[in-house]
Amino acid sequence: MHYTYLRDLFDLHRAKIILGILVLLMAAQEVKSQGIGYRRRHLEFYDDKPIHYGILFGVPFTRFNIKHNNDFVSKDSAFVIQSPTNAAFRMGFIVNAFLTDHFDIRTTPSVSLYDRNVKYSYPNGTDKIEKRESTWIEIPVLLKYKSLRRVNSRMYMIAGLTLGLETNVKRSRGGGQLDTKSSDVSLDYGIGYEQFFEFFKFAPELRFSHGLTNVFQPSKNSAGKGISKLTTHTVTLYLNFE
């Protein structure tokens, strides 16, 4: 039996690739902006408005972080308990309020369709998967730091807290089901790139989310015997339109 939690290296590698693409976009735009010639400045008075609205689409890659208890070593028949990373879908709205030339405050209320799993591996070579298919309403409060605008582009960083509320859940049928709580609070931070076009602003964004609360619901069934804590971990690629 192993007591060590195995990190999802593939998930981290994917996030590094997306972050690298955002940095390359910024570098390419910087080189282009230094070229000779006139470039039209789209939405020139965009920042003069106190509030902006928009829509977003997101692709989250999510899993549980699992902390084992002492029963995992002495009583649980599974020798590995892990949570594989699964892709999900998110859509919502953007409300962004201007504070200063460098700071905004924003919220992005959204609906997320999650499929988080816990996988139990046994010495005889068999696996058991507990599925958590659920719909969440998520309401973040975020502080946004933005760089100076260079013609039609700029970079930004974002950080804040998100409240998540589960609206429904589909559990796998069986005697020993894993149970989790229906609310969560997470710490969010990320980086994005804004590109101004003639009629709208497009901003791809990479955001990391770490659950701060234990969503594990203790029960007497065998599914939660070796678990003491479950927290959520999500990496999301956003496509924002304002």
- Indicate the domain borders of the chain: 9-33+49-241
The whole model's pTM is what? 0.80
Selected residue with higher pLDDT from 230 and 31? 230
Selected residue with higher pLDDT from 173 and 230? 230
Distance CA 91, CA 93 (A): 7
Instruction: State residue 240's pLDDT score.
Output: 97
Percent of the chain with pLDDT over 90: 52
| Winning range, highest mean pLDDT, from 16-20, 39-43, 155-159 | 155-159
Distance CA 33, CA 40 (A): 11
- At residue 39 the predicted structure's pLDDT band, cuts being 50, 70 and 90, is confident
User: What would the CATH number be for the domain defined by 9-33+49-241?
Assistant: 2.40.160.20
- At residue 38 the predicted structure's pLDDT band, cuts being 50, 70 and 90, is low
| Residue 234, both tokens | 């999500």
Each residue's pLDDT tens digit, 76-115: 566 788 899 999 999 999 999 999 999 999 999 999 999 8
- At residue 142 the predicted structure's pLDDT band, cuts being 50, 70 and 90, is very high
Distance CA 4, CA 79 (A): 11
Q: Considering only 3-12, 53-62, 73-82, which range has the smallest mean pLDDT?
A: 3-12
**For residue 93, what is the enclosing H or E element?**
strand 89-98
DSSP state of 235: E
Please compute the mean of the pLDDT values over residues 198-222 and round it to a whole number.
89
Contact between 188 and 225 under an 8 Å Cβ cutoff? The reply is: no
